[in-house]
């Protein structure tokens, strides 16, 4: 009897060790499966990047307008009717707005083509005294040919821009992508918006039972981060674009509407929109007016815009808790643009938000683990 008990005690640790080893192998196997799925997904996105744009755009629109459709549902409408109402409202607002914006841009571009040579000559003439002064202070610098070089380079740049625009218009693939964007995107957006709640429920049903609550919490954090950035930042861009356009137009800058609109439009890239718009406006003000007063007025417009954005618009509309650092956003946009073009720019911020949430979750778990808490001293 004693011998049997002794033998049982000998075998128990082996059994525990075997179970622990099997558990570890199982965890490693699951990790490998998920890693394989992730790699396969990334490769598929890269391979299909040329056809994904209208579908991704439709999904983004469905996500953006889901709160509005849900509000209509609370008022007693079914989801399909709510989706139709959202589409009608968006079309009634978006179509006239886009027609007006493109009309203004077309006029501004026409003005730009007409006045660009005059502005270039004026800019060179006004900067010539500065170049001569630099030449007097630094005789070793070859500045005599600089005005002509600037003129030639700017002219070549304008010619290149015209050829590029002509090439984009005449390029068959570009037209196909444009038509697919205009035709497929609304269809995808309609079905995604109508079936958004069903889609979310199906994804929720596929979550592992054991980790369901944890994954739900991470999705909530991602949604808060994305909604705060995308919906809020879109409002900030529109408000800044309107402010810069009106401000520069009141100053009398001939291309003020176009520059202000573009500066606001790309202000979702931290610092890039405001700095580029500011520098272009200063150069054009110098070329058009040559008056220090007008240059100061340009500075005042952008200073007010930055003050309002930093102290009121971004804190109120975007919020401080989205978890997306400006440097991280810039890196994500640059990497997305290089890897996937315009599609990469569209998905850069959502992917950055997901990576940010997952990284913070991993860091929190690491700080609770024995690897972090053990004291080896």
Report how far residue 9's alpha carbon sits from residue 101's, in angstroms, rounded to the nearest whole number: 82
Q: Count helices and strands (H / E) in the chain.
A: 13, 0
User: Residue 278's pLDDT is what?
Assistant: 93
DSSP character at residue 211: T
User: Residue 5's pLDDT is what?
Assistant: 47
User: Residue 145's pLDDT is what?
Assistant: 56
DSSP character at residue 323: -
Report how far residue 354's alpha carbon sits from residue 91's, in angstroms, rounded to the nearest whole number: 31
User: Residue 6's pLDDT is what?
Assistant: 47
User: Residue 26's pLDDT is what?
Assistant: 53
- Tens-digit pLDDT profile for the chain (377 aa)? 545 444 554 445 544 455 555 545 555 666 687 788 888 988 888 888 778 888 888 888 898 899 999 999 999 899 999 999 999 998 898 888 888 877 877 777 777 777 777 777 777 777 767 666 666 666 655 555 555 665 566 556 655 555 555 554 444 455 556 666 778 888 999 999 999 989 989 988 988 888 888 888 888 888 887 877 777 888 889 899 999 999 999 998 888 888 898 899 888 777 788 898 999 899 888 888 877 899 999 999 999 999 998 888 877 777 655 667 778 888 888 888 888 877 787 788 888 888 888 888 888 888 888 878 876 65
Place of tokens 């705060």: 228
User: Residue 297's pLDDT is what?
Assistant: 93
* CA distance to 123, 133, 146, 148, 149, per residue, from 137 (Å): 22, 6, 16, 21, 21
Q: Residue 374: left (phi > 0), alpha (psi -120 to 50), or beta?
A: beta
Residue 130 in contact with residue 141, Cβ under 8 Å?
A: no
Which residues fall within 8 angstroms of residue 310, CB to CB, at 6 or more apart?
Answer: none
Helix (H) or strand (E) holding 296: helix 292-308
Helix (H) or strand (E) holding 289: none
Q: What is the pTM of this model?
A: 0.68
User: Residue 14's pLDDT is what?
Assistant: 47
CB atoms within 10 A of CB 80: 13
* CA distance to 61, 199, 216, 251, 349, per residue, from 204 (Å): 21, 9, 8, 54, 23
């Amino acid at each position: 009897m004693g011998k049997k008990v002794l033998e049982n005690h000998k075998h128990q640790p082996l059994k525990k060790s075997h179970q622990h080893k099997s558990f570890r192998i199982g965890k490693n196997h699951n990790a490998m499966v998920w890693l394989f799925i992730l790699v396969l997904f990334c490769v598929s996105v890269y391979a299909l990047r040329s056809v994904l744009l209208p579908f991704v755009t439709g999904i983004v629109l469905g996500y953006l307008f889901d709160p509005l459709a849900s509000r209509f549902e609370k008022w007693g409408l079914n989801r399909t009717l709510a989706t139709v109402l959202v589409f009608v409202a968006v079309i009634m607002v978006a179509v006239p707005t886009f027609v007006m914006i493109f009309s203004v841009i077309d006029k501004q571009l026409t003005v730009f083509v007409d006045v660009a040579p005059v502005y270039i000559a004026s800019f060179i003439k006004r900067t010539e005294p500065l170049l001569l002064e630099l030449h007097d202070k630094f005789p070793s610098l070859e500045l005599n040919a600089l005005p002509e070089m600037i003129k030639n380079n700017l002219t070549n740049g304008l010619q290149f821009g015209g050829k590029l625009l002509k090439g984009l218009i005449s390029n068959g693939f570009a037209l196909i992508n444009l038509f697919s964007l205009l035709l497929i995107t609304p269809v995808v957006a309609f079905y995604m918006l109508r079936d958004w709640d069903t889609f979310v429920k199906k994804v929720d049903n596929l979550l592992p039972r054991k980790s369901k609550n944890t994954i739900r919490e991470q999705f909530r954090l991602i949604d808060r981060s994305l909604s705060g950035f995308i919906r809020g930042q879109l409002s900030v861009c529109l408000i800044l674009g309107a402010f810069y356009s009106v401000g520069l137009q009141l100053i009398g800058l001939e291309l003020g509407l176009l520059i202000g609109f573009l500066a606001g439009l790309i202000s979702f890239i931290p610092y890039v929109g405001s700095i580029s718009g500011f520098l272009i406006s200063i150069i054009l003000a110098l070329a058009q007016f040559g008056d220090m007063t007008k240059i100061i007025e340009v500075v005042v417009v952008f200073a007010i815009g930055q003050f309002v954005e930093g102290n009121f618009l971004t804190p109120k509309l975007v919020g401080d808790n989205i978890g997306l650092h400006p440097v991280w956003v810039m890196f994500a946009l640059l990497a997305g643009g290089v890897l996937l073009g315009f599609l990469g720019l569209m998905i850069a911020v959502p992917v950055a938000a997901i990576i940010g949430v997952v990284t913070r979750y991993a860091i929190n778990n690491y700080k609770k683990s024995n690897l972090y808490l053990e004291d080896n001293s």
